[in-house]
A and B are shown apart, each in its own frame.
Chain A
Amino acid sequence: MSKKRILLVDDEPALTRMLRLNLEQTGRFEVREENRGTNALRAAREFQPDLIFLDVMMPDIGGDEVAEQLKQDPALSKIKYAFLTAIVTKRETGTGAAEISGETFLAKPVKRDELLAVVDELLDE
């Protein structure tokens, strides 16, 4: 069984690195980091991920806008994505991911176990 591909989009390189290390450490995922929102679409086309984590607050382009563009692009619209962001809190999401207004949200800071559980859940569907 081939490794699932996960694209991480966040303007904070240290964060994408930590996420990547934890995911890769399981040996089950192939991970790519992208720290510029404007590059997110190109990275998605090149990498063809199964799942994308999107930060919302980024200086160049918001994660919400990236998601809109993904949905508009027929080649990318099937890709699952989730927002990993500080604009929601754990009080709002509970543990793990939560569906808010039709989108999947995961509140920062996220624990490794929580992250892996959400990834499994999203890739299972």
Chain B
Amino acid sequence: MRPGNRDNREESVAVIGMNDAPTRPASIQAQTTAAQRRASEPAQPPCVLLVDDIPANLRVLYESLNGRDYRLLVANGGAQALEIAQRSRPDLMLLDIMMPDMDGFEVCRRLKQDAGTADVAVIFLSALDEAADKIHGLELGAVDYVTKPFHPEEVAARVEAHCKILRLERELGQRNRQLELVRDRILHSMVEAVVGLDAVGRVSFVNPAAERLFGLAAEHLLTRDLSDWEPTALRETAQRVLAERRELSLDEVALPRPDGSTLPVELRAAPIADAADTAGVVLVLRDLSERRRVEAKLHRTSDELHRSHRELQAAQMQLVQAAKLESVGRLAAGVAHEVKNPLAIVQLGLDYLEQVASFDDVSAQVLADMQQALSRADTVVRGLLDFSRERDLDLKPCAVNEAIQNSLQLVRHELTQRNIAVRTSLAEAVPERPFDIDKLQQVFLNLFMNAMHAMERDGTLSIRSSFTALAGNELGPHARDAGFLPSDRVIRVAIEDTGPGIDPEDLGRLFDPYFTTKRQGEGTGLGLSVTRNIVTLHGGSIDLENRPEGGARALLLFHPEFARAEALSRPSEATLRARTARLRSANR
């Protein structure tokens, strides 16, 4: 106790060095320690509070440190030291032990009790050189001890050393907090649910994804321990990881949720290993339901693809079948026609002979047999012709647009794969008329596939239908043969591609049976011949030409009326024209 110095004590309460410490709002002070504040304000010099009840000592201390990069505060007693410490949060305190109002040990004890000042580093100053005192001081949380009488250099060196330690500690702390922030941010933004378990299986941390996955708030999850975990597989995996200290995973677990549903979840569990022992397990759970949905969708899409592929194959088979029938029918029609004239000659010859000559019974029988044979031959020939003719058309009123769209559906996938764009302009005004829609679809399918094979990859397939007056320059050879005239009202379908077009040498032969420009295996060569035949049977025409801007164009024309009744029992004018056109082209 040094009562003689009391007067000076008040005076020496001064802030020396920089300006007054900024006064922070109490709420923030209560939440932040001096170290945190300082850490967030780099470049501020360390603040050192010098505490001694003897002014002379204070002066020596002050002078030892003055001129160095410190902010210096002084207090002349324990109570004042605590007050300044609470207000100004010094980094370091040089604390005299023997003081009259409150000794240094008590000051230190109170400092350490108060969270706001607990991290102030204390260096005791005392004449006491007893080991017990030093130990007592260090036990109270002091960092060092300087014995009086002190050498200014020693004081400066120790303060310097401790400030350096403090700075490093603070930097370390700051780095740690940054790392924690980064870790929290990573955990927070992870799509996967992360659950940390400690060594005995208690939940130690969870991220928001885990709350969503389990359907439970963090505070509920954090009260759980391993025995609560469902399903069993999850629990057992975590236990095995703890016991075996190696990573384990489960491809799929059904995770029960509070609402009674289950989620398919993929689990990876890894040990959190401390240097020596296993400190816990981290569980990473991934919700598989979205992936399962996508997989299911992919399966469906793939099924659809397979189905449309099968449909296309079936349609192609039909085309091939139709092509075969067509070729047989064409042959039959040609043969039948050629045979009819000789039959007619023999028939009339026999009839004539029967009129002009008289026969005995045997000769009469010969004539009768010949007549019968003739009649049989005629029946066979008629059968061949009927087979090859329009008897097979299943006519119902429909619009070409419907057939176009149906056929397009069959090739749409392949068009997409080949990056071929489709432009359709199908006029609603196109009237219905009797068509065999299946056969008509074969026509369009055939033409679309030809266009697709011509373009191979990339390009545009455009399809336009209209009901319009026929322009004279649109009358191709087949259209003329089929009896179309300029300004006829016609159903017109134009199919255009952006391929290489048709070799002019081939233009005249395109519709010949077995003529093909495709690679072996890609076409039978009967496609266009069948196509024209079907169109012809419908009283229509089809002509192919090269477009001036490149690519090929197929132009189909149909009359808006088509008499089915006639087609069955009496052929229509168009049918007759078509027949003669066909026979003529066969004779050419």
Contacts and interface: CB of A to CB of B under 8 A. Distances in A.
Contacts of A56: 576, 580
A108 B344 contact: yes
B351 A87 contact: no
A57 B571 CA distance: 16
A100 B344 contact: no
A59 B587 contact: yes
A21 to B, nearest CB: 5
Contacts of B355: 22, 25, 112
Given A100-B566, A109-B378, A15 B345 contact: yes
A57 B584 contact: yes
A18 B348 CA distance: 6
B352 A112 contact: yes
Given A57-B337, A109-B378, A87 B348 contact: no
A108 B346 CA distance: 11
A101 B563 CA distance: 11
A4 to B, nearest CB: 19
Contacts of A22: 348, 351-352, 355
Contact of B382 (A59, A89, A112, A113): A89
Nearest to A93: B570
Interface string A104-121: 000011111101000000
Interface in A15-51: 15, 18-19, 21-22, 25
A53 B337 CA distance: 18
Given A108-B344, A109-B343, A87 B337 contact: yes
A113 B354 CA distance: 12
Contacts of B573: 100-102
B351 A92 contact: no
B580 A62 contact: yes
B352 A87 contact: no
B interface: dominant SS = helix
A90 B583 CA distance: 19
B525 to A, nearest CB: 26
A24 to B, nearest CB: 10
A76 interface: no
Contacts of A100: 566, 570-571, 573, 576
Given A22-B352, A89-B386, A108 B343 contact: yes
Contacts of A90: 378, 382
B569 interface: yes
Given A12-B345, A25-B355, A87 B386 contact: no
Given A15-B345, A57-B337, A109-B374, A88 B580 contact: no
A102 B563 CA distance: 14
Interface string B566-588: 10011111001101100110010
B566 A86 contact: no
Nearest to A19: B348
B212 interface: no
Given A25-B356, A62-B580, A91-B386, A110 B348 contact: yes
Interface string B247-291: 000000000000000000000000000000000000000000000
Contact of A15 (B341, B385, B386, B580): B341
A123 interface: no
B147 interface: no
B347 interface: yes
B340 interface: yes
Given A25-B352, A57-B584, A109-B347, A92 B341 contact: no
B349 interface: yes
Interface in A61-119: 62, 64, 86-93, 98, 100-102, 108-113, 115
A94 to B, nearest CB: 8
A90 B580 CA distance: 17
Contact of B340 (A14, A92, A108, A113): A108
Interface residues of B, number: 33
A57 B348 CA distance: 19
A38 to B, nearest CB: 16
Contacts of B571: 88, 92, 100
Interface in B323-349: 336-337, 340-341, 343-349
Contacts of B587: 57, 59
Nearest to A94: B569
Contacts of B572: 101
Contacts of B341: 12, 15, 86, 108
Nearest to B353: A21
Interface in B540-580: 566, 569-573, 576-577, 579-580
A73 to B, nearest CB: 21
Contacts of B566: 100-101
Contact of B347 (A25, A64, A86, A110): A110
Contact of A92 (B343, B570, B580, B584): B570
A110 B344 contact: yes
A101 B570 CA distance: 9
A12 B385 CA distance: 21
A62 B481 CA distance: 12
Given A100-B570, A108-B340, A108-B343, A89 B385 contact: yes
B569 A92 contact: yes
A82 B521 CA distance: 48
B345 A14 contact: yes
Contacts of B570: 92-93, 98, 100-101
| Most chain B CB neighbours (cut-off 10 Å) among A19, A59, A112, A115 | A112
A111 B584 contact: no
Contacts of B584: 57, 62
Contacts of A25: 352, 355-356
A86 B584 CA distance: 13
A87 B336 CA distance: 10
Nearest to A18: B348
Interface of A: 12, 14-15, 18-19, 21-22, 25, 56-57, 59, 62, 64, 86-93, 98, 100-102, 108-113, 115
Closest 5 CB pairs of A and B: A112-B351, A18-B348, A109-B344, A101-B573, A86-B340
30 contacts: A12-B345, A14-B345, A15-B344, A18-B344, A18-B349, A19-B348, A22-B355, A57-B584, A57-B587, A59-B587, A86-B337, A86-B340, A87-B576, A87-B579, A89-B382, A89-B386, A90-B378, A90-B382, A92-B569, A92-B570, A93-B570, A109-B343, A109-B346, A109-B347, A109-B374, A109-B378, A111-B348, A112-B352, A113-B351, A115-B348
